[in-house]
Structure 1
Amino acid sequence: MIKTILIATDFSLESLDVLKKVLKNKTEQNDENQYHILFVSGYDMGDSIRDLLFTTKSTIFGKIRSQEFCDAYSIINNKYPNLINKITCDIFTGSFQRTFNSYIETAAIDEAYFSSVKSKNLSKGQFDLTPYLKKCKNINAIEVLTQTPEFVPEKGRLAEVFL
């Protein structure tokens, strides 16, 4: 059976810790399901008509998602091939709770996870989805305890995925 997991992210390498912990937990539980992982970040499109007409998801991802993030989730995908069906990135551009609830329902989200650490890596236009997840009545969002060590020799690098 294929289920969909939403992970609130800022598209930084640190946000992949949530995915690693969730998949590790599912492996320990001998979970037989496969999962479609959906990384979602909030993004404010602004009010400019030009921006609304000519901005696409790919241009937004070019601004907020690094190549290291894509490489890192590919590594995680290769590590858990029995659990991961596919990994997709998306943005939520709404500003109301009912819009977010509709997004959750439309995407058929089965589980949602967010980090316990507040993101410091939000770029211009991005916003945190955690308040929307906490208020969403359609799904039980689970907070994943993540800790960032003070000193990591490869901080901000792809090697951080292997820690």
Structure 2
Amino acid sequence: MKHVLIPTDFSIRSLRVVHGVVERFGGEPLNIVLMHAVEMPGSIMDLMMLSRRSSHYDLITADYKDACEIIKNKYASVIQSLKTEFLVGNGKGLFRNFLLYHNIDVIACAAKDEFRKAGPHSYNPAELIRKCKYPVHHIALTPRKEKYLVSAMSELFEV
């Protein structure tokens, strides 16, 4: 069983990496962690109030949740778990501990980095991923023909 980390910006486009991961590991059971990186709160009050009800959980849209359900159902025989986690902070040691905690074996990213900030405290984890000593698979994504949500959701059904 492989434990795979995929960075996400909560766009449906970022979930297209899952298709490439399933193809790359050819039916091997997968546990997938979709990671979104946010900066550590700057004030002591924000830090004390950091919890599951934090504002960064508001970044998860209904479309993103629906897309995750579609992916789980489509690859039910391969994907054992698909969960979204937040990396709160920006440091190599913190990232290493995050990877160890989730038993990550490999990191999968889109070949072309198209990160979009989902919120004011989001940041691109590409530098952390580049510096870590974990194997990184770059998945080539075919460009979308249309820029509408309907076509983006329909791509989740394609192979």
TM-score > 0.5, shorter chain as reference: yes
Letter of the aligned partner of 1:14 in structure 2? Answer: R
Letter of the aligned partner of 2:31 in structure 1? Answer: H
CA contact (8 A) 1:45 1:51 kept: no
Range that drifts further, 113-122 or 35-44: 113-122
Provide the residue aligned with 1:128 in structure 2. Answer: 124
CA contact (8 A) 2:117 2:123 kept: no
- Identity among equivalent pairs (%): 22
| Unpaired segments ≥5 residues, structure 2 | none
Q: 2:118 and 2:94 mapped to 1: Cα distance?
A: 21
| Unpaired segments ≥5 residues, structure 1 | none
Q: 1:8 and 1:144 mapped to 2: Cα distance?
A: 12
CA contact (8 A) 1:44 1:126 kept: yes
Deviations 1:21-78, CA, capped at 9 Å, x for gaps: 211333xx3x3x3111100011013211221111323434532111111111111111
CA contact (8 A) 1:12 1:65 kept: no
The Cα shift of 1:103 comes to 1.7
Provide the residue aligned with 2:38 in structure 1. Answer: 43
1:84-99 matches, within 5 Å, as 84-99=79-94
TM-score, normalised by the number of residues in structure 2? 0.86
Q: 2:113 and 2:142 mapped to 1: Cα distance?
A: 7
Range that drifts further, 40-49 or 153-162: 153-162
Deviations 1:116-144, CA, capped at 9 Å, x for gaps: 2321243211111121111101x111221
Change (3 A) 1:3 1:156: same
Provide the residue aligned with 2:108 in structure 1. Answer: 113
Letter of the aligned partner of 1:42 in structure 2? Answer: A
Change (3 A) 1:54 1:81: same
Q: How many residues align?
A: 157
Q: 1:107 and 1:151 mapped to 2: Cα distance?
A: 35
Q: 2:54 and 2:151 mapped to 1: Cα distance?
A: 23
Over the residues paired in the alignment, what is the CA RMSD in angstroms? 2.1
The Cα shift of 1:14 comes to 0.6
The Cα shift of 1:150 comes to 5.0
**Does residue 7 of structure 2 align to residue 25 of structure 1?**
no
